[in-house]
Amino acid sequence: MNNKQLLPFERNRYYAGKMLASMDFKAEQLYMNNKRRFLNSMLFGPGVICGLEVSSLDDLTVLIESGAALDEGGREIVLESSAVKKLSAMEGFEKLSGERAQLRIRYTEEKVHPVYAMGNGENGEEYECNRIREGYELFLTDCIQEKQHTVPFFFHEAVFLENEDYRAVIHIPKTVCKGHYARLTVKAIKLSDRKKALSFEGILQLPAFVTEDGTHELSVGMQDILLEKGQQYKKDYWILAEKTAQDMSSIMWKQGSGQAFVGEYDVPIRQDIVIKTQLCKEEPEQMVLAQTAVDNLEAAKSDGREGILLAEIQMFRTEGAYVIASVSDERSYIAPPARSAERQQYLACFAEPSAYEKREKVQTDNIVNGQAEKGFEMPLMTSGTLEIPLDVNMKKGDVCFSEEILHGLGSGDVFVQAGVACLEETDGMGGSVKSTIYGDSDLFREQDHSWMKTAVKVFHDKGSFQVAARLEGEQKSIVLLINWVAMRFNSSQESRLTEDYSEMSIAARVPTVRLGAGKSCHIDILFRGMAPCRLVYELTENGSGEITQDGIYTAPASKGLYEIHVYCADIPQIDTYVYTIVEK
């Protein structure tokens, strides 16, 4: 759909005695279709609404589950039942130039149901098709090599290192809010199959931002990162945008501070990059809403022929044959309003976003599409907001409770303080200010803030907490808004090296387990002289079965005696062994 072709909208104007021809009825359909597709395009954008999962059935064939999508023209693509397709029978297969392909779906129309045309049809034919059937078409294209390097509309992404093995970029929002933290991400992407490690370090100058040590310079770097082709390694830094009078600032390399190595060879770092970032005074919610609405009609020019990406297929190809090696999901979803309540209920089962997005001064390392995390350090402090629904019939002395909330600092000794959020009128100003009462609200009785008292219960082993509230006076709301702050007492990993673990140990509840071949059981571990902690389960030899990270062991098909090593993830020197006897 090209908006320049359909705008401005025109609809039929009916009047008494109007002669209606086929072109009038076409205009009626065109108006309704274009109006609906215009709204689909502007409100939802292209993507998968539901279903359309792709999986391989065998070496030659894929299964596409039923589902629906919208293309960039706002047209509905519906696959009413699951489809089984051979790759070689799809459009585009013969034009593939490599062993990686993208499977896409696009909207189609066809004329069906031919009928006799009285007085011949529009083009003089004796028969005309009486219906237009909307459908879909599955097709293959070569993978876009630069797909991972496509910069999202709302972000700056500057490449500062690139060779045949790695690309390294700085990623930051184009607009940030003054007085708020923003995430700056440094990413490394592996481009080749060669076993080469990447190391680099340097200093970024941030004139309008403050780092965790209170300066305007941020040290960034990675050490000996070894990735597989296609993997990404990310490191996040949280920087505070100062409340300056400026509306624009820049981020740049400090000259002479950058150096990088791929394997044993040094590679140049582009130290001339300048990332211009806009500074705004709005709150993040307002800023995000405004930024997502800046798109204009001139940008929506696609006719949808490129289709909606469903999956990426890796093949082994020879001159006369091919074998499907793997199928990876590449669907981009649209969030339909019809199921927003279900999504919110589902999301509530997990950690509050505020526990992660509002953290103070955090740096994290992780591998995307890889198998491990490296160098992760828990934040020292997190904060957030929660709501406790109140019964309208509450009486003085009644107690209500929040759901269990993850504070984002992990298990261990964590202090959590909760306070009641208040909105109070300002003297003579005709407005109001927000405040939070932590501790004993009776001290503010003259300001009438003592209608609720709160207490916090911290679950140290689970990394979570729960807030209780008791009605002390007249109920003023049906929802209690709570602001909370969590702080870790001791997050230093180095301090653990000097601790004495002689009185701490773990042991299996059942040291020797008897199992039938292929049967499963849970390896239950007892903690002695220590609080429960995260455990790592490892099989000491190949072919001895399978064990999950939560300790569920599945015996192999062959009988024998097998050994399982169990140790504490944070204190590996505290460990034990479990033995399984597998019988036929």
Q: Give the pLDDT mean for 513-518.
A: 88
Q: Give the pLDDT mean for 460-478.
A: 83
pLDDT tens digit string along 447-458?
A: 555 678 889 999
pLDDT at 264 over 70: yes
What is d(CA 105, CA 215) in angstroms, rounded to the nearest whole number? 51
Q: What is the pLDDT of residue 425?
A: 60
Where on the phi/psi map is residue 503: left (φ > 0), alpha (ψ -120 to 50), or beta?
A: alpha
Q: Give the pLDDT mean for 117-126.
A: 73
Q: Which residue has the higher pLDDT, 409 or 138?
A: 138
Topology at the third CATH level for domain 154-291: Immunoglobulin-like (2.60.40)
Q: Which residue has the higher pLDDT, 561 or 123?
A: 561
CATH number of 497-583: 2.60.40.1080
pLDDT at 126 over 50: yes
pLDDT band of residue 160 (cuts 50, 70, 90) is: very high
Q: What is the pLDDT of residue 15?
A: 93
CA separation, residue 530 to residues 64, 411, 416, 499, 502 (Å): 51, 13, 22, 13, 11
pLDDT tens digit string along 284-303?
A: 877 777 776 665 565 555 66
pLDDT band of residue 433 (cuts 50, 70, 90) is: low
In the chain, what percentage of residues exceed pLDDT 90?
26
pLDDT at 168 over 60: yes
pLDDT tens digit string along 176-201?
A: 999 889 999 999 999 998 899 999 99
CA torsion, ordered 446, 452, 453, 454, to nearest 10 deg:
-140
- The sign of the dihedral angle between the CA atoms of 142, 148, 149, 152 is positive
Joined tokens for residue 31: 């108006």
pLDDT at 484 over 90: no
Q: Which long-range contacts (CB under 8 A, 24 or more apart) does 270-274 make?
A: 270/159, 270/160, 270/161, 271/160, 271/202, 273/158, 273/159, 273/160, 273/170, 274/250
Q: What is the pLDDT of residue 72?
A: 87
Could you say which DSSP state residue 32 is in? Answer: H
Instruction: Tell me the pTM.
Output: 0.49
Q: Is residue 131 within 8 Å of 111, Cβ to Cβ?
A: yes
Q: What is the pLDDT of residue 548?
A: 86
Q: What is the pLDDT of residue 6?
A: 64
Lowest mean pLDDT of 337-346, 390-399, 506-515, name the range.
Answer: 337-346
What is the number of other CB atoms lying within 10 angstroms of the CB of residue 123?
7
pLDDT tens digit string along 519-566?
A: 888 888 888 888 888 888 999 888 899 998 878 889 998 889 999 999
pLDDT tens digit string along 336-360?
A: 777 777 777 776 665 444 434 444 3
Is 61 strand, coil or helix?
strand
pLDDT band of residue 419 (cuts 50, 70, 90) is: confident
Could you say which DSSP state residue 91 is in? Answer: B
Burial code (b: 16+ CB inside 10 Å, e: under 16) for 531-542 equals eebebebebeee
Which residue from 60, 65, 267, 87 is spatially nearest to 159, judged by alpha carbons? 267
Residues facing residue 251 across a β-bridge: 275
Is 290 strand, coil or helix?
helix
Joined tokens for residue 173: 């929002």
pLDDT at 83 over 90: yes
